[in-house]
Amino acid sequence: MNKTEKFLDTTVKFINLVAKVLPDDVVERLKLLREKETVTMSKAIYDSMFENLEKAVSLDRPICQDTGVIQFFVRVGTKFPLIDEIGDLLYKATLEATEKVPLRHNAVETFVEKNTGTNTGKKVPYIDYEIVPNSSNLEMDVYMAGGGCSLPGRSTVMMPSAGYEGIAGFVAETMVNWGINACPPLVVGVGIGTCVASAAKLAKKASLRRVGSRNPEPKAAEMEEALEKALGNIGIGAQGLPGKSGVLCVNIENMARHPSALGAAVSFGCWAHRRGTISFDKNMNYTLLDHKGVTL
């Protein structure tokens, strides 16, 4: 196989893996939450979730019937050999994976309002690029954005006087009003920026950061922990039913802002948080960063 074929083949297999096996950090946290839960209804749901994860592997089927819109978050080295072809290859990989996994058809062309039946369409699969100078590697997250968990996402710009407590309130309200239908326990990604767009993008990236990781800025990390605790105490359990285990994690990503604007956004991930990170070297040898011990 040449480099192009190797990249394509590996990416298709990786999409297949992400649809069927949750990343290590998510599974580990789900186990902890399951142990902590005391309410019968919520416990019964955790039992089903774990049974479902086992059956997805033994029957070789996607964890959830909604395999989402396929999204790639690419960090590409300027010297990566396939830098000019990535977009085309990820498009092809999505087409192929749709057949092979199989994935549900989740791309509806807007205005035409027709399902393309291929999981591809205008700007779909969604690809986000970051350039890494002086590197010949590529690292990327693959994420399956289900409809249920995309639905409650929100972005806004507040007056700075609203403060960080204003951001916390915005996140909590969104979770209680809409997030509870997004199959909790939830990954809560919070973005703090200067406009709706920058905040929303950071919120999305926050939701893709590993469960258990912390923002390097001490105050932001403190807010992550405090908000995680507060949201956990609201009394929401699995599937939005009463319980203690409705929050997988709170991750915050931040940037500098305009003196008179405080952008805030929240992006949720459901319990079936189908995210994976893979890296390729210049010879297209891969490493799986979130699925230890798995070979494609």
One-character DSSP codes across 82-134: TTTTHHHHHHHHHHHHHHHTT-----EETTTTEE-SSS-BTTBSEEEEEEETT
- Report the interhelical angle of 24-36 vs 40-58 (nearest 10°): 150
- Report the interhelical angle of 3-20 vs 86-100 (nearest 10°): 50
Backbone angles phi, psi at 120, to 5 degrees: -125, 155
Asked if 190 interacts with another protein (CB under 8 A), we say: no
Region near another protein per CB under 8 A, out of 25-33, 47-55, 129-137, 281-289:
47-55
Q: Which residue is nearest to ligand SF4 (CB)?
A: 146
Contact pick of 231, 249, 252, 288 for another protein (by CB under 8 A)? 231
* Smallest gap from residue 194 Cβ to ligand SF4 (A): 30
| Segment holding 17, helix H or strand E | helix 3-20
Contact pick of 4, 27, 52, 279 for another protein (by CB under 8 A)? 52
Residue 238 binding target from ligand SF4, another protein, none, CB below 5 to 8 Å by type: another protein
Interface with ligand SF4 (CB under 6 A): 64, 66, 146-149, 182-183, 270, 272
Dist. CA 274–CA 17, nearest whole Å? 9
Backbone angles phi, psi at 46, to 5 degrees: -60, -40
**Tokens at 253, concatenated:** 């990503």
Q: Which is nearer to ligand SF4, 103 or 168 (CB)?
A: 103
Pattern 99-138, another protein, x by CB under 8 A: ---x-x----------------------------------
Residues in region 164-183 near another protein by CB under 8 A: 164-165, 168-169, 172-173, 176, 180-181, 183
